[in-house]
Amino acid sequence: MRYEWLDDYLMQKRAVTKDLQPVWNWIRYHVGGRMFAAVCLDNRNRPYYINLKLDPEEGAFLRGQYKDIIPGYYSDKVHWNSINPDGEVPDDLLRDLLDKSWSLVLAGFSKKRQREILGLTCCGTECKTCSFYGENCDGCNECRGKVFHAPEGKACPIYACCVQKHRYVNCGACEMLPCDIWRAVRDPALSEEEFERSVEIRIRNLSGGVKNGI
Ligand code: SF4
Ligand code: SF4
């Protein structure tokens, strides 16, 4: 296979796991337990197809543009596509298609579940790394934004805007990011520099589903 970067690329995406389906001899990549890509191996463990999911119209268009993209082998042929691992599909295009497949499969879950799968709050924080987690707070996803530092009886202003008003999965979907609400909601213990760094990390966490803002 000429796309030697593929496994590393997929495994550094947020919330991705993989396994080997022994009967088919497919390496399957999952998000939230659902497959979004697979490398199909022959009986000598050489890849013969890369399978991924696309919007049906885009899949049909690309099949017309590239002889190395065909309807999904051993899959639903409307949504799934198979790519020749030794063909001429450009690397950048394949990366883009893998990203789209990941996003499409993730989008099949409820928005709350998507935040759980990503392990991020709507503002891009990894609750499990927060010193308050488990002590003062179970995470804003659990308490619908009514975290201990929110105004009495109300949701955190970021949660109220992102989840309740705009119905986004997270602020990564918003072109205002980082907005004035982000600037106003801050841990008073952080210095200016620490706060700016936290904004930077959270924006990276929210971008493109990549782990640890790489
Ligand atoms: S304060 Fe609560 S919601 Fe905010 S990051 Fe910490 S655990 Fe998550
Ligand atoms: S304006 Fe956008 S970035 Fe700001 S809190 Fe609302 S959804 Fe998030």
pLDDT of residue 136: 80
What the block records as the tokens of 8 is: 């590393």
pLDDT of residue 211: 56
The mean pLDDT values, 10 residues at a time, for the chain of 214 residues are 96 95 96 97 96 97 97 93 97 97 96 94 89 83 88 92 96 94 91 94 82 44
Tokens 């796309």, residue located: 3
CA atoms within 13 A of residue 110's CA, in its CB half-sphere: 5
pLDDT of residue 212: 46
What the block records as the tokens of 28 is: 């399957």
Please confirm whether the linkage preceding 178 is cis (ω < 30° from 0). yes
Distance (Å, rounded) from C-alpha 33 to C-alpha 109? 11
For residue 92, the Cα-to-chain-centroid distance in whole angstroms is 18
Ligand 2 geometric centre to CA of 212 (Å): 21
ipTM above 0.85, yes or no: yes
| Closest C-alpha to ligand 1, atom 5 | 127
Q: Taking the CB of residue 57, how many other CB atoms lie within 10 A of it?
A: 8
Ligand 2 geometric centre to CA of 139 (Å): 18
Distance (Å, rounded) from C-alpha 4 to C-alpha 84? 13
Ligand in nearest proximity to the CA of 177 = 2
pLDDT of residue 149: 83
Q: Cα dihedral sign for 23, 24, 25, 29?
A: negative
The ligand 1 atom nearest the CA atom of 131:
6
pLDDT of residue 213: 40
Query: In what order do the strands lie in the sheet containing 80-83?
Result: 16-21, 26-31, 34-41, 47-53, 80-83, 69-71
For residue 93, the Cα-to-chain-centroid distance in whole angstroms is 18
| Substitution site in 116, 120, 123, 125 for ligand 1 pocket (most atoms within 8 Å of beta carbon) | 125
| Closest C-alpha to ligand 2, atom 8 | 171
Is the backbone of residue 4 left (phi > 0), alpha (psi -120 to 50) or beta?
Answer: alpha
From 80, 100, 81, select the one nearest 31 (Cα to Cα).
Answer: 100
Q: Which domains does the chain have, with CATH numbers?
A: 6-106 (3.90.1150.30), 115-213 (no CATH)
Ligand 2 geometric centre to CA of 157 (Å): 9
Ligand 1 geometric centre to CA of 133 (Å): 6
| Substitution site in 121, 159, 177 for ligand 2 pocket (most atoms within 8 Å of beta carbon) | 177
| Substitution site in 162, 163, 202, 205 for ligand 2 pocket (most atoms within 8 Å of beta carbon) | 162
Ligand 2 geometric centre to CA of 95 (Å): 28
